[in-house]
Amino acid sequence: MALCFVTRQLPGPALDQLRAAHDVEVWTERLPPPPAELRARGARADGLLTLLSDRVDAELLDHCPRLKAISNYAVGYDNIDLEAATSRGIRVGNTPEVLTDATADLAFALLLAAARMLPQAIESVRVGDWLTWEPGHPLGHEVHGATLGIVGLGRIGRAVAQRAQGFEMTVLHTRTSMSTGEPLELLLEQSDFVSLHCPLTPQTHHLIDRAALAQMRPNAILINTARGQIVDHAALREALTDGTIGGAALDVTDPEPLPAGHPLRSAPNLIVTPHIGSATRVARERMTQLAVDNLLAGLEDRQMPHQVNR
Ligand code: DGY
């Protein structure tokens, strides 16, 4: 029997399968285990089931001599130093596919909400500012027939493109290894909506910086359901404040959560949601199942169903 440390309570029944095979410790707090706690638990563990808010770096791994497998409860695994894990012979798994539709739905919900100014409209009713039917207020942007630029045409990017077809949008996308596409500059210049779906890597860190925002249309809306660090937040605040772009809707920020008083919190025409792209019951329960399947395989020295290293 191996010892597994699961860094949060997870939805669905799949953790019972892990408990049936191994000793399982679950961190039951709402906030992540502090680094010292993660180190202490990791030091005894054969397997870790981590969240994107758990930083798994070389320093932590140095404290985990028994570790054979890390199963990350997310499709993104930028919280894990993959090279450090691989060089220590530790398998790392993620949870793709099961959250594709939920995340694409949220990206589209944000696109619609920002375009049609839903937060402002809802707030106006809440504060008693719905005086009558007004021809000129609030005036949002037309989604039907608009141009959507998708940065990162992976699983989620493709699922967003499918949804855009229903709105008869023109869809542009950046190049992938499998298909041709537009250079980023051209996509930014031509899109009414820009939706980010690339992974966070050294190459995509601050991909959307001041220069990129300046290339966007003045009415354009930026949607980010990928990772906060892909967008330079200081540059975004400026672009929203001086009208370089029309608006933004972010499900991910840097840092998460945005602390009280963070300049972005008071930026105009901005929607922020608390990283809920995959937050449907079905998607999250499937993520639990996949994370458990990955961990069970890794602990038995088998290839994980979704392993991201060799
Ligand atoms: C992921 O899976 O990477 C999301 O950000 C959380 O579901």
Residue 268, SS3 per DSSP: coil
**pLDDT tens digits, 141-200:** 999 999 999 999 999 999 999 999 999 999 999 987 777 899 999 999 999 999 999 999
Residue 35 lies in a domain: yes
Same domain for 255 and 194: yes
Same domain for 147 and 89: no
Pocket test for ligand 1, best of 54, 97, 103, 229 (most atoms within 8 A of CB): 103
**pLDDT tens digits, 12-43:** 999 999 999 999 999 999 999 999 999 999 99
Amino acid at 295: L
> Do the beta carbons of residue 237 and residue 262 sit within 8 Å?
no
Same domain for 180 and 59: no
- Can you read off the two tokens belonging to residue 303? 């290839």
Residue 179's pLDDT is 76
Residue 188 lies in a domain: yes
Q: Which of 275, 284, 286, 306 is catalytic?
A: 275
Q: How far is the CA of 277 from the centre of ligand 1 (A)?
A: 7
Same domain for 249 and 147: yes
**Residue of 208, 174, 213, 216 lying closest to 192 (CA atoms):** 216
**Residue of 26, 63, 81 lying closest to 291 (CA atoms):** 26
Residue 177's pLDDT is 74
How many domains does one find in the chain? 2
Residue 289's pLDDT is 98
> Do the beta carbons of residue 208 and residue 236 sit within 8 Å?
yes
Residue 306's pLDDT is 98
Q: Which residues contact 136 (CB under 8 A, 6 or more apart)?
A: none
Same domain for 230 and 108: yes
- Alpha carbons 245 and 176: distance in angstroms, whole number: 26
Same domain for 92 and 106: no
- Can you read off the two tokens belonging to residue 114? 């920002």
Its domain, for residue 28, covers: 3-96+281-299
Residue 274's pLDDT is 98
* CATH code of the domain containing 87: 3.40.50.720
> Do the beta carbons of residue 151 and residue 184 sit within 8 Å?
yes
Q: Is 275 among the residues known to form the active site?
A: yes
pLDDT at 294 over 90: yes
Q: Calculate the alpha carbon distances from 202 to 78, 236, 275 in Å.
A: 10, 19, 21
Atom of ligand 1 nearest to the CA of 278: 7
Pocket test for ligand 1, best of 75, 197, 285 (most atoms within 8 A of CB): 75
Q: Is 256 among the residues known to form the active site?
A: yes
